Structure 1
Amino acid sequence: MNDKIKTYLPVLTIAGSDSGGGAGIQADLKTFSALGCFGTSVITATTAQNTQGVRSIHDIPEQHIQDQLEAVLSDIGPKAIKIGMINRPEVVRVIVEALRRYPDIPVVFDPVMVATSGDRLIKEETVEVIKQELFPVSNVITPNMDEAAVLIGKAVNDPQEMEKAAQTLLGYGSGFVLVKGGHLQGDQVSDVLCGDGQTHVFESAKIKTKNVHGTGCTLSSAIAVFLAEGQEVRQAVASARNYVFQAIDAGKAVKTGQGSGPLNHFYYPKKMIIHELDQ
């Protein structure tokens, strides 16, 4: 009879750090923990940031990013990877080179370009490199309407244009594209998922609150968690949207700082997921 080894369910985030704690690496790790996973991280940049905006960005050297990637991937072996802020072409190439060595790990890429405050987080020359090199090794990409507009060079204003944008972005090689509709006018939020020859629209009520800092980071991280658990993409998106909706609702009346506050990631307790493996 084989002895069993107990192990956590590890997930990796590759993203920038938010000193205010609401988005980026901090939001990703909170999401992983809240959903019962063991979070690991590769930091691509640090930001001097709070609920009101971004004051400055400090780039992490490419060699150190590569070292972080190799340290985590070679030892802990994440079951899914979420990618967030990448603001330089050189960093895109370092990440892509690493991902190509681990093709079986599902990758969720949230193309963070503009902070909730409106601050630009990415260099212009990085956009094309992302589309040509990172999209093809990503299972799911999750741009919001503004990011989709930047990526396709055309305005995205309604669910019909969101679907067209998703179909266009699929042409760059990712498995699925989820265009998020949090900026839509009205009382409903519609997100459009395209991939595998199908289109699915997810809808939910819009919660009235300014505490939405880090929503996109949290959603993409939650999708990565549910993919790590073995859910297929459509179900993982539905599960992640439900988690984010509840986290926004739980934090809607809580004041953090003077600007756009964060979600309540820990609105319900969940124990760490522990698997048993044959030795």
Structure 2
Amino acid sequence: MSETAWTIAGSDSGGGAGVQADLLTFHDFGLHGASVVTCVTAQNTTALTDNHVIPAATVRAQLEALWDDLAPAAIKIGALGSPDNASAVLEFLSALPNDGRPFVVWDPVRYASVGGALGVLSDDTIDAFLRHVDVVTPNAEELADTWNIDPHSPAQAARLLRNRGAERVYLTGGHGNTPGVDHWESAECSFAIRGDALPGRGAHGGGCSLSSALAAATVREDEESAPVLAHMYVHQGLRAIASRVGNPGAGRPPLPHLGWPGDAEDLPRVVDAGRDIGATFPPLSHPIGLYAVVGSVDWVRRCVELRVDTVQLRVKDLPAPALRHAVAESVAATGGSSTRLFVNDFWREAIDAGAYGVHLGQEDLTDADLPAIAAAGLRLGVSTHSYYEIARAHAIAPSYVAIGPIFATTTKPMKFAPQGIARLRRWVNLLKPRYPLTAIGGIDVERVSGVMASGVGSIAVVRAITEAADPAVAVADLRAAMHSDHADVR
């Protein structure tokens, strides 16, 4: 895949918005940024005083030159300057090949955040752009001004835009993207992105940076994670503004560009449309420690004998009576021991048997009665494999979070590629201030020390114990590796 992203937008002499903000954002996501300049503005943090529109022929020449040598993986489109420039860009988009087509994000900006028009488009042109881009990122004011859509119901507004032809919609809470509630809508999913509110007036270039971060994030992450990362990227800049003394300019300061977002304070809560949980899960009574995932009551008993810290009963395809019996017997086996039992997926049976906790995958979160689990006093563990899933788990505030797969695994089909140690370390930094963590997926004794060095605090194993020639030796070796000089068991 190409490591290049384009911005098709205006130049901001103040350096806070337009192509200047976009190129800084692309750099922070590790991409080479290229630009097609549509207009050159004279502006600072308080006013736009002049706007020189680049001729459409020059816009076409820029597009052709870049396509010949620096084909992009993603394109962000901002201010177009004129109807002629809009036509030139539409012609380019309509001619893009389906094979290897870049992901296109359109920020439908009509006015600079400091005031002043940046180009007015006809309704037909606006509708044509909706059909030729992959996602549109209006704020509430743009929804009302451009489409005459009431922004007070974000999910409904996003659906109306999709009915107009938009494939995906990222609706931001306000001009400049002051954190609050944003909304993502596509054919596959619909969710709110809730960030912590910050003091201040927002930032100059916040909307530009959000749309370019969204474009860049689609190159680096899965589609559902891209809007989460874009939100985090803008939030970290706004948080920096709120904590600074002496920001640049007399107006709203330019958004700081601070690299890949990785601070726990910037992690939003992703809430599925129409699903507020309103439940509080108990904390863990002890560290997770060595975590064994097993497929039978006999293996639960064996783990208790071996004093494994935490065990998960993961059984499949049992008739209902046998399932209830297996869960009840596992609860009895761990009763009075130092081993804590989590039941995978079967939350009703876990509640009935009085298990220590339940572990749910992302698919199960949709159907499980989370308030009932919390009301029963059970702990909740949640599997995560992406930024989207991490933010979705964060909205639920589980008792612990599992991260994986760290390495390739054959225990079950996986939607996501192995994460690796570097990504694990990034997610530990993001989550550990708030949640106990365990790493899972392809971990054997030789890999334990490297995994623990990430600071994750716990490892979960599926085959390293149950398929060992001597499980007792395997447990001892895993424990020793977890507490080696290179491991971090904080």
Q: How many pairs are equivalent?
A: 256
Equivalent AA in structure 2 for residue 262 of structure 1: P
Write out aligned runs for 1:182-201 (5 A).
182=174, 189-196=180-187, 198-201=189-192
Deviation larger for 175-184 or 75-84: 175-184
| Structure 1 residues 55 and 188: CA distance shift in structure 2, 3 A | closer
2:79 to 82, 85, 109: 85
CA, structure 1 residues 183+20, in 2 after alignment: closer, same or farther (shift >3 Å)?
closer
Over the aligned positions, Cα root-mean-square deviation in angstroms equals 2.2
Deviations 1:223-276 (A, max 9, x none): 1111122521x2100011111111221233241111111111035699xxxxxx
Residue number among 1, 15, 19 corresponding to 2:13 in the alignment: 19
For the 8 Å contact 2:12–2:20, the answer to whether it is kept is: yes
- Residue 139 of structure 2 corresponds to 144
The code of the aligned residue for 1:143 comes to P
1:134 to 2:134 alignment: no
Q: Which structure: greater strand fraction?
A: 1
Shift of 1:202: 0.5
- CA deviation string 1:192-225 (max 9, x = no partner): 1111153211111121123510000000000111
| Superposed displacement of residue 8, structure 1 | 7.0
Partner of 2:103: 106
The residue type equivalent to 1:196 in the other structure is A
CA distance in 1, matches of 2:256, 2:118: 24
Taking the aligned partners of 1:247 and 1:154, their CA distance within structure 2 comes to 29
Q: CA deviation at 1:115?
A: 1.9
In the alignment, which residue of structure 1 is the partner of 2:208? 217
Structure 1 counterpart of 2:47, one-letter code: G
Indicate the residue corresponding to 1:249 in structure 2. Answer: 239
Q: Secondary structure at the match of 1:205?
A: coil
Residue matched to 1:122? 119
Distance in 2 separating the partners of 1:228 and 1:127: 31
The AA in structure 1 aligned to 2:249 is G
TM-score w.r.t. structure 1 length? Answer: 0.85
Moved beyond 3 Å, runs of 4+: 267-270
Of the candidates 190, 196, 202, which is equivalent to residue 205 of structure 1? 196
Q: AA paired with 2:81?
A: N
- For the 8 Å contact 2:133–2:166, the answer to whether it is kept is yes
Q: Which residue of 2 aligns with 1:28?
A: 22
Q: Please give the residue correspondences for 1:51-90 in structure 2 after superposition, counting only pairs within 5 Å.
A: 51-90=45-84
Unaligned 5+ residue runs, structure 1? Answer: 1-6, 271-279
* Per-residue deviation, 1:142: 0.1
Q: Summarize deviations over 1:163-216 as a string: whole Å, max 9, x none.
A: 2221111123221011111369xx960011111153211111121123510000
Instruction: Pick closer, same or farther for the CA change 1:154–1:172 going to 2, 3 Å.
Output: closer
**In the TM superposition, what is the alpha-carbon distance from 1:112 to its structure 2 partner?**
0.6
Evaluate the alpha carbon distance shift between residue 183 and residue 269 of structure 1 in structure 2; reply closer, same or farther with a 3 A threshold.
Answer: closer
Structure 2 CA distance for aligned equivalents of residues 260 and 127 of structure 1:
30
Q: Does structure 2 retain, via aligned residues, the 8 Å contact 1:143–1:178?
A: yes
The answer on whether the counterparts of 1:250 and 1:267 sit within 8 Å (CA) in structure 2 is no
Cα deviations by residue, 1:63-89 (Å, 9 ceiling, x for unpaired):
000000011112111110000001322
Q: Structure 2 residue aligned with 1:174, among 166, 173, 182?
A: 166
* Higher relative contact order structure (alpha carbons within 8 Å, sequence separation ≥ 6): 1
Check conservation: 2:45, 2:204, Cα contact below 8 A.
yes
CA change 1:230–1:266 in 2 (3 A) is closer
Distance 1:245 1:182 in 2: 13
**C-alpha distance in structure 1 between counterparts of 2:23 and 2:15, whole Å:** 10
Residue 120 (structure 1) shift:
2.7
Q: CA, structure 1 residues 114+70, in 2 after alignment: closer, same or farther (shift >3 Å)?
A: same
TM-score by length of 2: 0.50
Give the 3-state SS of the residue equivalent to 2:195 in structure 1: strand
Deviations 1:104-123 (A, max 9, x none): 11100000112222333222
